[in-house]
Structure 1
Amino acid sequence: MLATHIRHRRWKSVALTTAAVLVGLTAPALTASPAAATTTEYDDTYYADAIGKTGTALKDSLHEIISDQTKISYSAVWNALKATDQDPNNSSNVILLYSGVSRSKSLNGGDTGDWNREHTWAKSHGDFGEAIGPGTDLHHLRPADVQVNSIRGNKDFDNGGSSVTNGGGSLTDSDSFEPRDADKGDVARMILYMAVRYEGDDGWADLEPNEKVNNGSAPYMGKLSVLKQWNDEDPPSAFEERRNEVIYDTYQHNRNPFIDHPEWVESIW
């Protein structure tokens, strides 16, 4: 069944008109180009009320769409992650966020060498803990190495820092965490999904991205400008797209719109 759904995903890049002329090629770095517009098979159905909107109107429409979801318990997340994050090359393993390591599904737990459930939007940022709702939303929960997860803790996301042991190229400092390049877009799209899904109208805090680190228990996550850059630099992968399908088809029956339409990040923020 999964293979059928994956085969039927029709992604089409839509050329964006560019009037800019490249100048200053001797500068240290060029800014990443905004995500290209896309169309999906869900535009005429799931996203019908959002197509053509921008800004606040788009965010409000997406909130209404993705808030219609089936919720699962925190204990059920263990088995769900074994399906959503299955290694495409080894069905006995999952791929770990941040490190990119393929590890046995059976090694879930809290000991060194195990993988556990990482809340990409740190559960202390808004104080939702592990409660059904934001605390169990699969669109931001990923398997991660226990020690790497502990190093990330509840830090905001930003560029820079020193190498994380066994972190696959991830970096960290006293107040922020930078995932390895292959996970940067994933992290950005998960954080921004949470900001649209949880708007303070269902008993939980209104989650929003901002330009700060050290957000602590406030319902904010930074840095927005960095997350936008990561979304542009690391477009959705086949792994990320498959994950979105599994969550939609099997578990929550809602989608992460920024995996389907990464250009909506710039449209909203």
Structure 2
Amino acid sequence: MKKLFLCLIFSQLGFAQTPAGYYNSANGLSGAQLKTALSNIITSGHQDKGYNGLWTAYKTTDIDKNYENDGSILDIYSERPTSTDPYKFTPGSNQCGTYSTEGNCYNREHIVPQSLFNEASPMKNDIHFIRATDGKVNGMRSNYPFGKVGSASFTSLNGSKVGSSSSSGFSGTVFEPIDEFKGDIARMVFYFVTRYQTKLSTFSTGNMIGTSAFPGLQTWELNVLLAWHNQDPVSQAEITRNNASYTFQGNRNPFIDNPSYVNQIWGGQAPTTDTQAPTTVTNLTVSGKTTNTVSLSWNAATDNVGVTSYDVYMNGSLKTNINSTSTTVTGLNPSTTYSFYVKAKDAAGNTSANSSTVSATTNAGTTNPNPTDCVNETFETIPSASSSSYSTKTWTSNGITWTATDSRTDQTISNKAITVRDGSLKSSSSANGIGSLTVTTQLKFSGSNGTFNVQVNGVTVGTVPYSTTATTTTINSINISGNVVVTLVNNSSSNRVAIDNLSWTCNSTSARLVQTTNSVSERKELQIYPNPISNQEIFVKGDTENIKKAEIYNLQGKIMQTINNPFKNGNSIKIRSLLQGAYILKLDESSLKFVVK
């Protein structure tokens, strides 16, 4: 179906079912003022019908009345405008559900990913930018911004593509719909950044939306969408959907009703091209390290428009790109030296000069006899790590807050350690109990051999010896369930004893969950793929249709997220932001181990 020669007709039809006077308050305005006026108009009357309400809406809003006109779902990710569609979806009957290939089912595609606004309402439920699309293609689109694909890694049966960006100003992965629906995509995004402009500063950008009400989009993305809007005018299918959406939800997409609003607000092109690079990152520091990780932090760079992300280089090669001023590089080898530097980037793709280079040597490996440790404290993040004065030190590591009284931080065993004189080392409350405890101790300076008392919830459960030789001790069979507070008490008023590599195993149901994961994960009926996962989405192969609840645990047994009816929309689970590392996915009575990369 060709749109170009119908442009003038449809631009007139666009007002046919718009209520009289609906846009009166926007008359005579332009730029940011027009955008704000439209935002007020389309916010008024908006009725949030809930997430499940979208399934009902699609029976009137997303029906094919303009291509095959056969009553099937109009799916912009599978529709072939000039030939036979590769598959059809029956409204209501083919809702996801489990999918593994194209054509299995349709689900709810947020054109602006819901992860950017933390799945909050009313954004999560807004019919104007949430389309009924094939589950598989929706999954492949993931949370990528829209742009021109240079080299495709995936192409759908109608020609939609995922791949590396060839759009100016962005070099990451993008999603490109077919030409027939590029304008549709643009006008849905324009609606979103207008309707929710007052909330943009609280959303994540996703290399897509902006953080201010105007212009509301990243410069490179705005350039892409303006071009798509102009090359693909409003179609009758969009007008029909806009009218049906108004009936369902009570507000309209002004950029379908009056396409000229786009150029009146954004001027037909993005703001003046940004050619100024951000300032150089300063104060790059190694903030911590373990046997296989190095943590880095730095001062934020500045830019004439705004810094959007940082490239972190290891040994001269790009390691990761993040949008914060700290990161932990994982997957390293013990006792190995690595060098790092950082570059700042802005939305136009301008890159700063290299920061200064810092080097870090990972800690030497130690054998962990208890792979199901609930707590594993290496003291790498203790404050004032070179302080020789005795005082109370407090820090938080891996969810546990530690308090060391009458302590100093300048003595070492394997690397950093906490040295206690006439005091104690005490943890905050930790769930999942304690099985056995292991710790390394060493007497520093003068004094005599002695012991620490180990207390759990204020009750002594054993002792740990110390001498001038670094000694690792394990207290077995403590076996206390529930919440525990662990304290190591120095019984001497003068002996100064360093403590390092303190850990304890779980003693709870969640510990048994972790311990049995390896065998359970080999069950053939359920499998996570790919593993490690990416883009905060878990795909599961097997019989998932009847699974009622999914739970995600970290390896300390702490529950991170619960999802009821997790596969009602497909064979994947969208999860909240999890840090890099290993986790357990419990599906009813089955447990699978996965890694977030």
Q: Is TM-score (shorter-chain normalized) higher than 0.5?
A: yes
- Tell me what 1:49 maps to: 25
Q: Which residue of 2 aligns with 1:81?
A: 58
Is 1:104 the counterpart of 2:84? The answer is no
Distance in 1 (CA, whole Å) between partners of 2:89 and 2:25 is 40
Q: What is the distance in 2 between the residues matched to 1:123 and 1:43? A: 30
Q: Is the 8 A contact 2:155 2:162 kept in 1?
A: no
Task: Please tell me the residue identity of whatever aligns with 1:245.
Answer: N
Q: Contact 2:183–2:230 at 8 Å: present in 1 too? A: yes
CA RMSD of aligned residues (A): 3.0
Change (3 A) 1:260 1:170: same
Q: Give the deviation of 1:111 after TM superposition.
A: 1.9
Instruction: Report if aligned partners of 1:258, 1:265 keep a CA contact under 8 Å in 2.
Output: yes
Which amino acid in the other structure matches residue 230 of structure 2? D
Paired position in structure 2 for 1:40 = 15
Count of paired positions: 229
Paired with 1:187 and 1:39, the residues of 2 have a C-alpha distance of: 17
Bigger share in helix: 1
For 1:132, give the aligned amino acid.
S
Q: CA deviation at 1:242?
A: 0.3
Letter in 2 for 1:265: V
1:135-174 aligned at under 5 Å gives the runs 135-161=124-150, 162=152, 164-174=154-164
Q: Amino acid of the residue matched to residue 267 of structure 1?
A: Q
Q: Tell me which protein shows more strand as a share of its residues.
A: 2
How far, CA to CA, are the matches of 1:231 and 1:191 in structure 2?
Answer: 11
Question: Is 1:94 the equivalent of 2:85?
Answer: no
| Mapped partners of 2:29, 2:203: distance in 1 | 20
Distance of aligned partners of 1:145 and 1:139 in 2 relative to their CA distance in 1, 3 Å threshold: same
Which whole-Å CA distance do the structure 1 matches of 2:254 and 2:204 have between them?
16
Confirm or deny: 8 A CA contact 1:247 1:253 kept in the other structure: yes
The whole-number CA distance in structure 2 between the counterparts of 1:156 and 1:260 is: 25
Contact 1:198 / 1:207 at 8 angstroms: preserved in 2? no
Distance 1:231 1:98 in 2: 18
Shifted more, 155-164 versus 139-148: the winner is 155-164
Contact 1:120 1:191 in 2 (8 A): yes
The 3-state SS of whatever aligns with 1:45 is: coil
Q: CA deviation at 1:169?
A: 1.3
Instruction: Flag the 1:51–1:207 CA change in 2: closer, same or farther, 3 A.
Output: farther
The alignment-based identity, stated in percent, is 35
- Matches of 1:40 and 1:217 in 2, distance apart? 29
Q: 1:94 to 1:207 in 2, by over 3 A?
A: farther
1:123 aligned residue: 114
Unaligned runs of 5+ in 2: 1-5, 80-84, 165-172, 267-597
Is the 1:195–1:207 Cα contact (8 Å) retained in structure 2?
no
Distance 2:209 2:222 in 1: 16
Query: For the residues of structure 2 that align with 1:264 and 1:217, how far apart are their CA atoms?
Result: 19
2:178 alignment partner in structure 1: 180
CA contact (8 A) 1:208 1:220 kept: no
Quote the Cα distance in structure 2 between the aligned partners of 1:139 and 1:81.
Answer: 11
Tell me how far apart the structure 1 counterparts of residues 202 and 180 of structure 2 sit (CA, whole Å).
25
Paired residue for 2:231, among 210, 221, 233?
A: 233
Match of 1:64 in 2: 40
Identify which of structures 1 and 2 has the higher relative contact order when contacts are C-alpha pairs closer than 8 Å and 6+ apart: 1
After the TM superposition, which residues 170-209 of structure 1 pair with which residues of structure 2 at under 5 Å, given as runs?
170-174=160-164, 175-200=173-198, 204-206=199-201
Tell me the distance in 2 between the aligned counterparts of 1:194 and 1:38: 23
Deviation at 1:205, TM superposition (A): 3.8
Contact 2:73 2:132 in 1 (8 A): yes
Write the letter of the residue equivalent to 2:110. Answer: H
Kept in 1, the 8 Å contact 2:7–2:235? The answer is no
What SS class does the counterpart of residue 144 from structure 1 fall into?
A: strand
What is the TM-score normalised by the length of structure 2? 0.36
How far residue 206 of structure 1 moved from its aligned partner, in angstroms, is 4.3
How far has the Cα of 1:39 moved from its partner? 7.4
- 1:169 and 1:180 in contact (8 A); partners too: yes
Compared with structure 1, are the counterparts of its residues 108 and 243 closer, same or farther at alpha carbon in structure 2 (3 Å cutoff)?
same
